[in-house]
Each structure stands twice: as structure tokens, then as C-alpha cells.
Structure 1
Amino acid sequence: MNTGLKIPHGEDKVKVELTVKELMVLAGARFPNNHVLEVSARKKLNEVLEQTYEIENGGSRDGISYDYLN
């Protein structure tokens, strides 16, 4: 299945430090009285993604360039 979406260095590995509960939330576990866990886990993932592309975009804070997606 080829969707046509190309992400440069898409197979590179990154490290994200999560608590066990954050990992469980991302894997689909539910903590009905603690929405903060999901928010925290997703925030950590987004931060790593932004840091990774900030380096590749030469320090740009504009997000991922449209050219990278084609």
C-alpha cells in the first residue's frame, strides 16, 4: 500500500521518555478520571517531533515544510 506520502528520514529512530501509564494510554488503555495522562503523553510525542524537524528545517519554527510531504 503506497499512499504517496514521503517523509524524509521517516525510518530514523527517536527516543521519547514516557511513564508506564503514558505508554498504556497511547496503547489504548483508559484512565477515565485522568485525562492529563493522555495530554502529557501526546505532548511529549509532539515535542520530539518538533525537535526532530526543527533540526532538519534549519531551525524553522513554521512546522513541517509542505515540500517534505510531496
Structure 2
Amino acid sequence: MNSTAQLGEKNVIAVDLTPDEALALTGVEFNGNHEVKATAQRKIRSAFEKTFDIQKN
């Protein structure tokens, strides 16, 4: 599946992450909790989709 993002003038995305979520995105692994990275990725994806117009091709 391909998608196209229309980038407007609003080219900044702000996402509130916990310190653990931010570390997980840098590659630090939390062996006891694999959900930390997934939660951070979902937050970023959601913020991206709210900020930019995504069209699936």
C-alpha cells in the first residue's frame, strides 16, 4: 500500500513522550515491557496523521 502526504505550511509535529518512550525510540530495549516502543510509535503516527493530509493510493 502506498500513501502520499501533502505537506503544508505546518511542518512541525509535537508529541508528548515519557522518558522511557523517548529512549525506546533511540534503540534502548525494555526487556520487561515491549509495549513502550509501540506506544511511542502510535503517538507519533497519530500526531503525524492529524498534522498532515494523508491519502492512500
Q: Which has the higher contact order (CA 8 A, sep 6+)?
A: 2
Greater percentage in strand: 2
- What percentage of residue pairs aligned between the two structures are identical? 26
Match for residue 27 of structure 2? 28
Asked if 1:51 is matched to 2:50, the reply is: yes
Number of residue pairs the alignment of both structures matches: 53
Is the 2:21–2:39 Cα contact (8 Å) retained in structure 1? yes
5+ residue gaps, structure 2: none
Rg larger for: 1
- TM value normalised by structure 1: 0.61
Please identify which structure carries the higher helix content: 1
What is the RMSD of the two structures over their aligned residues, measured on CA atoms? 2.5
